[in-house]
Chain A
Amino acid sequence: MVHWSAEEKQLIAGLWGRLSAEQCGAEALARLLIVYPWTQRFFDNFGNLSSPTAIVGNPKVRAHGRKVLTSFGEAIKNLDNLKGTFSKLSELHCDKLHVDPENFRLLGDILVTVLASHLGRDFSPACQFAWHKLVGVVAHALALNTP
């Protein structure tokens, strides 16, 4: 079980309150597909992913990005039971979609960068630490069903 200090919980929840899940999610997913183009293989049916502009404007990317961040919101409400919170999603990503868990780590890193770009100096080193820990734990929970 992961231990969360009161400060970490505060830093996570505090930042979360200031973000638009829709905006950050769309951006994070778009950046994943742009910066690490091999991840596009999981989104064959998303339509036009032919350029950064196309990816950023793609409505399916935006919608899926929003879904991803919404589930982060669930994680934040359930920091003490991430394994349970993500068990169905883990089944989906591992058993059905066969995603290499390394990709969850990549998305996590990208999300941290997106937060930094939105929050500027407010994204302090302490915030970075707490969020880096969160994305790592979420990635781990998602990977639990990996063969």
Chain B
Amino acid sequence: MLTAEDKKLIQQIWGKLSGAEEEIGAEALYRMFHAYPPTKTYFPHFDLSQGSDQIRGHGKKVVAALGNAIKNMDNLSQALSELSNLHAYNLLAVLSPVFALQFLSQCLQVVLATRLGKEYSPEVHSAVDKFMSAVAAVLAEKYR
């Protein structure tokens, strides 16, 4: 469960990265496609080369959603409700949602770590990991 301290750390880190959100989203996605090739199967229609318009566009969407979730950490279910519906009902092709979202979480953390270095402390690492798990759980809520 996210503690008050976790929430504070996440907001602080997010504040530090303000302005670079689009790049971060695109990089996280690109790393996910290349470190975990099976995730490519969910985007057969995408140009998956580095810096592609589609990766940038989708990365921007992902990060905007995360930003919104961070503003509403006390009610993730509601904040992510539309996305949860989208992933469950419209994107039915996603077979193992929690699994796939774990890969995105790991890649996002790698991107944060490369940018923050030492500032990506164990406490921040723990808070982000817990937050991403909570987001993944909400997104997968309506699958069954």
Contact = CB atoms under 8 A, between A and B. Distances in A.
Say whether A associates with B: yes
Interface of A: 27, 30-31, 34-35, 52, 55-56, 109, 112-114, 116-121, 123, 125-126, 128-129, 132
A117 B129 CA distance: 15
Interface string B95-122: 0000000000011011101111110101
A132 B102 CA distance: 14
B129 A35 contact: yes
B126 interface: yes
Given A120-B117, A125-B30, A128-B31, 15 more contacts: A31-B125, A34-B123, A35-B126, A35-B129, A55-B122, A113-B106, A113-B110, A116-B113, A117-B117, A117-B120, A119-B114, A123-B113, A126-B34, A128-B35, A128-B107
Contacts of B106: 109, 112-113
Contacts of A119: 114
Name the residue among A27, A35, A126 with the largest chain B CB count within 10 angstroms: A35
A59 to B, nearest CB: 17
A72 to B, nearest CB: 18
A90 B106 CA distance: 26
Interface string B120-135: 1011011001000000
A117 B116 contact: yes
B122 A112 contact: no
Interface of B: 30-31, 34-36, 50, 106-107, 109-111, 113-118, 120, 122-123, 125-126, 129
Given A31-B125, A52-B123, A117 B30 contact: no
A125 B117 contact: no
A120 B116 CA distance: 8
Given A112-B110, A132-B35, A30 B117 contact: no
Contacts of A30: 122
Contacts of A34: 122-123, 125-126
